Amino acid sequence: MPQSGSASESEPRSVVIIGAGVIGLTIAHVLSTRFQGGVKITIVARDMPDDLTSQAFASPWAGANWSPFGYEEKSYKRELKTFNRFWDMQSTGLVHVVPYRIFVPDEPTDSDTRPYFKDLVRNFRPLSQEELPEGMKAGVIFDTITVNPEEYLPWLKSQLSTFGVAFVRRKLHTLDDAADLVGVKGVIINATALGARSLVGVEDKMVYPIRGQTIIAHAPEIKECVALPLEGAGGDVTYMIPRPSPHGHVLVGGTYQKNNWDTSVDFDTAQRMWNTLLKFVPTLKSNNTKVICHNVGLRPAREGGPRIELELVTFPLRRDFMHGSANDRPTYKMPVIHAYGFGGAGYQGSWGAAEEVADIFKDVYNNA
């Protein structure tokens, strides 16, 4: 049943979510469970959750674990909620809990040995000098979570289908396209990631890509995540993430190259990051280790951080290039809730971000 105070007990509120990445799917999941029977959700996207080889959206290529990206209050709250949600999902088999070692090559500061996330993760402790690889000055270890996007995204879609969420494969060029689909009393949720840069009616030029190149390998001896800090202006970053399945699969990275739109594989980069990781994880030299594939994805970042907010947009959009009926039709205002710009932290902030969107939606829903 709809939540108390809802606008209508008989007619569900129509919602169009633009974007079928992890953010859009998770928002649909939270709305479906919090507003049971009170919403009619359609997800509209060019790329769907089972398009797992598409380089046009980031979700299939993500590391999809919890990793520290630096402290920011709102992001921390989102990630704490998300970490706890994933932690409680271990019984599904979709979530794997693994130790995570972060090494520090320079003289450590207090933020290295007592970082902001020590109370977010589980079983945190500093590493002893005996546990450090050669050349490292400090480090920490804790338990983190990881999921496999190739299984998690289809699982989310399957869940949503049981909730009655509809999926429409379509590339939308303007917010007008979404408004026509949802109707004048509907709500649009914009989870377009990098698409927010070009979607007419949004055109957020603060959105930019961060190129990530990785390797998927079969390395059954690997049981832990490992990471080093970002290295230099070139955007190299060293990390390794075991995945819950298939058995023995690990993600090796990587790059963190801002404003780089290139989705082709650079094999010199691949060799360099593999060789770097071998220094810290010699078990990768095992005869059982085999490279499966090379990947490149574009993390959808935004200057100033993610955008989660309500905007009342006047439709139809009136632009100089629009002629005829578009500019002659009567205008009306519609709520648009934006949720994009999460960069490399989409999975690890997804449930918390979706709860924020649901809180905004609740106000819209109750005040209709």
Domain range summary for the chain, segments of one domain joined by +: 13-58+151-206+303-366, 96-145+209-300
340 is in an annotated binding site: no
Stated length of the chain: 368
Record: fold of 13-58+151-206+303-366:
Rossmann fold (3.40.50)
Given phi > 0 = left and psi -120 to 50 = alpha, else beta, which region is 64? Answer: left
96-145+209-300 CATH pick, 3.30.9.10, 3.90.1170.50, 3.20.20.70, 3.40.50.2300 = 3.30.9.10
Instruction: Confirm if 337 and 189 have CB atoms less than 8 A apart.
Output: yes
Distance, CA of 291 to chain centre:
25
Those residues whose C-beta lies under 8 Å from the C-beta of residue 9, and which sit 6 or more positions away, are 1, 2
Task: Give the whole-angstrom CA distance, residue 233 versus residue 258.
Answer: 10
Given phi > 0 = left and psi -120 to 50 = alpha, else beta, which region is 341? Answer: left
The residues that bridge with 214 in the sheet, in sequence order, are 253, 295
pTM for the whole thing? 0.93
116 is in an annotated binding site: no
Two tokens at 200?
Answer: 């007419």
152 is in an annotated binding site: no
Two tokens at 317?
Answer: 């959009």
Instruction: Confirm if 62 and 346 have CB atoms less than 8 A apart.
Output: yes
Q: What is the pLDDT along the chain (368 residues), one digit of tens a residue?
A: 345 444 445 689 999 999 999 999 999 999 999 999 899 999 999 989 888 777 666 777 788 999 998 899 999 999 999 999 999 999 999 999 999 999 998 888 888 889 999 999 999 999 999 999 988 999 999 999 999 999 999 999 999 999 999 999 999 999 999 999 999 999 999 999 999 999 999 999 999 999 999 999 999 999 999 998 766 556 788 999 999 888 899 999 999 999 999 999 999 999 999 999 998 898 999 999 999 999 999 999 999 999 999 999 999 996 655 555 555 678 999 999 999 999 999 999 999 999 999 999 999 988 86
192 is in an annotated binding site: yes
β 307-315/332-340 pair status: antiparallel
Look at residue 5 in the predicted model and tell me its pLDDT: 40
Two tokens at 250?
Answer: 């690990």
For residue 252, the surrounding DSSP H or E stretch is: strand 249-255
